[in-house]
């Protein structure tokens, strides 16, 4: 048998959450919590890798403060940095001081997430959302 390098660690959980977990463990006939937890962790890691690598199409919408110094330039620069992922963008002046921008994007999930995080973290961006329309 392959030698496994096992490490023990402590986990603190809300009792209700642990009860629910134990119920699922029983239902799925896991021999113990460790086996169930390692399966969950492995599944999470696989899912993450998959999400980062798969191609997505979607739309980023954001509302931002037009008067914030240099913000418009910064948002444009970020989009240029990700020019291979940006299909088109539409700018709507919704109020005197606020703009709505709709950006159609395509690319690897991880890359689109980077673009989205970069845009939404700029000071003066009041709201940002990513909606996936289809995955290719």
Residues that bind Ni ion (CB under 5 A): 93, 99
Number of residue whose CB is nearest Ni ion: 99
Nearer to Ni ion, 110 or 124 (CB): 124
Pair 60, 132: CB distance under 8 Å:
no
Q: Both tokens of residue 75?
A: 């948002």
Other C-beta atoms within 10 Å of 119: how many?
21
Q: How far is the CB of 92 from Ni ion (least distance, A)?
A: 7
Of the pair 55, 95, the CB lying nearest Ni ion is at 95
Residue whose token pair is 């690598």: 53
- The token pair that represents 59 in the structure block: 């739309």
Residue number with CB closer to Ni ion (99 or 105): 99
Cβ neighbours for 22, distance < 8 A, ≥ 6 positions apart: 33
Q: Least distance in Å: CB of 88 to Ni ion?
A: 16
**In the complex, minimum distance from the CB of residue 96 to Ni ion, in angstroms, rounded to a whole number:** 9
Q: How far is the CB of 131 from Ni ion (least distance, A)?
A: 21
- Is the CB of 54 or the CB of 93 nearer to Ni ion? 93
Nearest CB to Ni ion, comparing residues 35 and 91:
91
The CB-of-93 to Ni ion minimum distance in angstroms stands at 4
The helix (run of H) or strand (run of E) holding residue 8 is none
| Cα separation, 68 vs 103, whole angstroms | 20
Q: Which of 115, 135, 108, 111 is nearest to 62 (CA)?
A: 115
């Amino acid at each position: 048998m392959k030698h496994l390098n096992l490490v023990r660690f402590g986990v603190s959980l809300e009792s209700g959450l642990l009860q629910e977990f134990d119920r699922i463990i029983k239902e799925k006939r896991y021999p113990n919590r460790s086996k169930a937890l390692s399966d969950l962790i492995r599944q999470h890691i696989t899912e993450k890798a998959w999400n980062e690598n798969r191609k997505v199409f979607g739309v980023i919408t954001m509302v931002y403060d037009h008067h914030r110094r240099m913000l418009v330039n910064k948002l444009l620069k970020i989009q240029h940095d990700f020019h291979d992922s940006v299909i088109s963008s539409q700018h709507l002046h919704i109020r005197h001081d606020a703009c709505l921008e709709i950006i159609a994007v395509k690319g690897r999930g991880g890359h689109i997430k980077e673009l989205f995080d970069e845009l939404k973290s700029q000071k003066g961006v009041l709201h940002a959302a990513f909606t996936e329309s289809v995955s290719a």
